A and B are shown apart, each in its own frame.
Chain A
């Protein structure tokens, strides 16, 4: 068996498991999993072979484009074991509540019909243009009509529907001139053909439909990608929880939990709903809620909030608020209000359409009345008006934005950034100031390994750090990655105290000196070390900030921490402006103040105390490890990799905006030539076909041109 070359999957699936084969889903899938990090054929095989060997699963099929797996099993089966099996195979998976959006489903048949009809009619038109006359020309025209009329009747339906929807409430949108052009072109051509006229516009009507549909399909793909990114993030919330029932612990969807239910939570689990603690004491990591990295100790009877992480455990809880009433959801609603206050951003496409739509109508109406007054010939005037309408119709304009946006978004996606809003790219391109949150985003608190410790003592320290899920211990263990841990006996972790164990008959411990003492102490037999704790930069923070400075962006830092700590971090990063000791509300005020001062602000933050500021900023980015609420408030989420992705993301967004403006310029210059020609009555179907196709193709080519430079 050949192993697919993919560095991310170097571990690869076991060859034996591969022999189990994969099954196509023969029946409707019952469960869906989100697989945010899969990216190659090796990943597909790992997931499918792992899932098909799990008992209870009848079929599993991976969709790499949407990073999802569809699974057929018994309805109501618990996906917990599947997710654990995938985790054991090295694949991150989350349960998705619904199948997810399909990629540009229902417009494709319309696009296909328009494309094939256009090519056939265009072929017939070539014969007319090259000089077919009299009965031959009429015959070719009639055949064109026979293809074009049913084809437009089907393919242009999306435009007709939208135009009718707008007209019914007495409004104009882009689809009104489009529908008008298509209908008039077909109607007038039919009339001309019936009376043996020289010009038929069937090919133009179809080309118009085809190019505009192409723009729509791209646009729809973009929106669906953004929507499915939002869905994927929603799947990261805890979707299941163990409820204590008379029969024992049963895994249930969070939505089924009612107030008063008793819940069981393992160490490291996230509290799913607001609840009262029934046993303990327990260490709770509230960093996402408060931005402070030090865990707090909670005793039985204390209130826990949804989103907090239980570090020691297991614990039992009683639910006190569920669904929309939880603290987390209430904060999300506050964020929604802040987003509303941000004001509606008018995208480049909207602004272009706002200028363009009335202009198309006015120019063709003027052409019609002008020719009517000058010649008194209604047929002639109508022909000129239709030619103008077709030529000015925003073919290239409809493609200018979506083609670029699709190219840029998919490039960001490959770089590990999820774009959640369809206007995020344009807003990101305009930022001039980057505001960072400190704790969690740029820096973290770590314990230093004592320098005087011997090799054996380091190995004991590593083993003790491994035994706890406290974030400080995790980082300590990571800094001792090269040291092999020793085997400990009788490991016991006490909330708020630390880890104790026995090694070679002597007691060892890592934890606080006493209740409430500030220092962390490592005891190994008779030796006793005080561990210094320092605030360290995240590994790539310096590089990320330097890259932003290199692009000419200003940087600021907002933090709830003390001024001394903040200044030290800011200085080592070269960040000029620092505001220390600010709460969530002040963060919003500062961001709003900066924007009022004429700066366009990009907010980068991960904590719940940042969410309102994220929503208030022009654009916002959240690291993937951030709390759900922050990820929901942010426009862009960094899924893989870290802060170093920010500078390239801004560069891509700027390039995309430049590309969009170039496309507008291309479309406008075609129109600058074509409109006078059409209004003066020189436009023939041949000229329209050439102008329309070349401008659309140039615009698409320009968009697909490589995004790196």
Chain B
């Protein structure tokens, strides 16, 4: 069961990474205009 000592922190670390990523998407306002972001993909960047 020693493997748990490695695996549990690993899974916790990955979970925290995902949570941090989610907080980042919130902070950078990626949920403010989902339709607009979907449409802007189609525009040429100048």
Contact A41 B39 (CB under 8 A): yes
Chain B binder among A60-68, A439-447, A607-615: A60-68
What 0/1 readout, one digit per residue, does chain A (106-125) give for beta carbons within 8 Å of chain B? 00110011001101100110
Interface residues of B in 1-44 (CB under 8 A from A): 1, 4, 8, 11-12, 15, 18-19, 22-23, 26, 31-36, 39-44
What 0/1 readout, one digit per residue, does chain A (201-226) give for beta carbons within 8 Å of chain B? 00000000000000000000000000
Minimum CB–CB distance from A409 to chain B (whole Å) comes to: 14
What chain B residues lie within 8 Å of A19 (beta carbons)?
46
Contact B8 A143 (CB under 8 A): yes
Contact A44 B11 (CB under 8 A): no
Minimum CB–CB distance from B21 to chain A (whole Å) comes to: 10
State the interface size on chain B (CB cutoff 8 A): 24
Contact A119 B15 (CB under 8 A): yes
Contact A62 B26 (CB under 8 A): no
CA distance A64 to B33 in the complex (A): 6
Kindly state whether residue A21 has any CB partner on chain B within 8 Å: yes
Contact B33 A66 (CB under 8 A): yes
What 0/1 readout, one digit per residue, does chain A (90-107) give for beta carbons within 8 Å of chain B? 000000000000111000
CA distance A324 to B41 in the complex (A): 46
Contact B12 A123 (CB under 8 A): no
Kindly state whether residue A673 has any CB partner on chain B within 8 Å: no
Kindly state whether residue A40 has any CB partner on chain B within 8 Å: yes
Contact B36 A63 (CB under 8 A): yes
CA distance A124 to B10 in the complex (A): 12
Q: Is the interface of B mostly helix, strand, loop or mixed?
A: helix
Contact B33 A112 (CB under 8 A): no
Interface residues of A in 25-63 (CB under 8 A from B): 40-41, 44-45, 62-63
Q: Which of A4, A62, A108 makes the CB contact (< 8 A) with B36? A: A62
Contact B32 A63 (CB under 8 A): yes
Q: Which residue of A lies closest to B16 (CB)?
A: A116
Kindly state whether residue A139 has any CB partner on chain B within 8 Å: yes
Q: Which of A63, A66, A112 makes the CB contact (< 8 A) with B22? A: A112
What chain B residues lie within 8 Å of A120 (beta carbons)?
11-12, 15
CA distance A40 to B43 in the complex (A): 10
Minimum CB–CB distance from A7 to chain B (whole Å) comes to: 15
What chain A residues lie within 8 Å of B32 (beta carbons)?
63, 65, 102-103
Contact A136 B23 (CB under 8 A): no
Q: Which of B4, B15, B31, B39 makes the CB contact (< 8 A) with A40? A: B39
Minimum CB–CB distance from A68 to chain B (whole Å) comes to: 9
- Pick from B18, B34, B43 the residue with the most CB of A within 10 Å: B43
Q: Which residue of A lies closest to B39 (CB)?
A: A41
**A108 and B31 contact, Cβ closer than 8 Å, known pairs A2-B44, A18-B46, A139-B4:** yes
Chain A: interface size category: 20 to 34
Interface residues of A in 60-83 (CB under 8 A from B): 62-66
Minimum CB–CB distance from A643 to chain B (whole Å) comes to: 27
Contact A136 B4 (CB under 8 A): yes
CA distance A136 to B1 in the complex (A): 8
Minimum CB–CB distance from A228 to chain B (whole Å) comes to: 13
**A21 and B46 contact, Cβ closer than 8 Å, known pairs A113-B19, A120-B15:** yes
Q: Which residue of A lies closest to B36 (CB)?
A: A64
CA distance A44 to B36 in the complex (A): 8
CA distance A102 to B31 in the complex (A): 10
Contact A112 B19 (CB under 8 A): yes
What chain B residues lie within 8 Å of A124 (beta carbons)?
8, 11
What chain B residues lie within 8 Å of A109 (beta carbons)?
23, 26
What chain B residues lie within 8 Å of A4 (beta carbons)?
42-43
CA distance A64 to B37 in the complex (A): 8
Kindly state whether residue A1 has any CB partner on chain B within 8 Å: yes
CA distance A65 to B36 in the complex (A): 6
What chain A residues lie within 8 Å of B1 (beta carbons)?
136
What chain A residues lie within 8 Å of B12 (beta carbons)?
120, 143, 147
Which 6 A/B pairs are nearest by Cβ-Cβ distance?
Answer: A64-B36, A41-B39, A41-B42, A65-B35, A64-B35, A120-B15
Interface residues of chain B, those whose CB is within 8 Å of chain A, are 1, 4, 8, 11-12, 15, 18-19, 22-23, 26, 31-36, 39-44, 46
User: Beyond A64-B35, A103-B31: 18 further Cβ-contacts under 8 Å?
Assistant: A1-B44, A18-B46, A21-B46, A40-B39, A41-B41, A44-B40, A44-B43, A64-B36, A66-B33, A108-B26, A109-B26, A116-B15, A116-B19, A120-B11, A120-B12, A124-B11, A139-B4, A147-B12
Mind listing 27 A-B residue pairs with CB under 8 Å?
A18-B44, A18-B46, A41-B40, A41-B41, A44-B43, A45-B43, A62-B36, A64-B35, A65-B36, A108-B26, A109-B26, A112-B22, A112-B26, A113-B19, A116-B15, A116-B18, A116-B22, A119-B15, A120-B11, A124-B8, A124-B11, A136-B1, A136-B4, A140-B8, A143-B12, A147-B12, A147-B15
